[in-house]
Amino acid sequence: MSCESEKCTFRDLVQVVALLRQKCPWDREQTHQSLKKHLIEEAYEVLEAIDEGDDTKLKEELGDLLLQPVFHARIAEERGAFGIDDVIDALVKKLIERHPHVFGDADSKEVLESWERKKLKGRESVLDGIPKHLPALKRSQKLQDRASAVGFDFENIAQVFEKISEEIEELKESIERKDEKNIKHEVGDILTAVVELARFLGVDAEEALQEANERFIRRFRYLEKKAKEKGKSLESMSLKEMDELWLEAKGVVG
């Protein structure tokens, strides 16, 4: 099979996926469940390409991500549930409905108020609708945002710091009691309180930790490089020596 025009189209993609489902053993075996991990991985690879500012890589990764909904829609179509055209139809109608200030005569304020009402309609809890598979920090921040929207929140940042201190003390007590179950519980409470602090400061907790991870990688690789230049392995170095290189790394690689 080849594209009918010089540049392949979305319809060509749909046809290729249909053919793969018929003739490729691996593709035939896939299910919604088996593809879940690929969907998440592809989404993260798109984020990485965005962070790197690499347009060529971004184009490729967006293509890999686009394959996922087309693949899922094909599987659904085979069992008579829906096809990719139904997915597109529902999406376009939803976009039009959510933007009456563009496709109708409502103003932006009315749209926002209407959208908030629609989100809450039919929900048993204001916390409903937050995906459980989100990264834990991001999910925590969204949960706290929802709770804050109905008034369940700290009044000021001083109270947040007080809560963090309180949770740390409770963790210390659990450690002293050697209560392993509660240690895990208290560590979770500390993380939740730190996410609350990030929210108060207008910081995305997930992005902040990702950036911290990258800083750690840069600094640790610098430490490894300098140790090698000294003819040493990290295992043979004292903690003091490594700390000195770590402080040096903070000034050199950020």
| pLDDT tens track for 23-62 | 999 999 999 999 999 999 999 999 999 989 999 999 999 9
- Whole-number pLDDT of residue 124: 83
| pLDDT tens track for 86-141 | 999 999 998 988 888 788 776 766 666 666 666 666 678 889 988 888 899 999 99
The closest alpha carbon to 197, from 168, 137, 157, belongs to 157
- Whole-number pLDDT of residue 144: 95
Neighbouring CB atoms inside 10 A of 199's CB total 20
Strand ranges for the chain from DSSP E: none
Question: Residue 68: how many CA atoms within 13 Å on its side-chain side?
Answer: 17
The pTM of this model reads: 0.69
Strand ranges for 87-144 from DSSP E: none
In contact, 135 and 213? CB cutoff 8 Å? no
- Whole-number pLDDT of residue 105: 74
Average pLDDT, the chain: 91
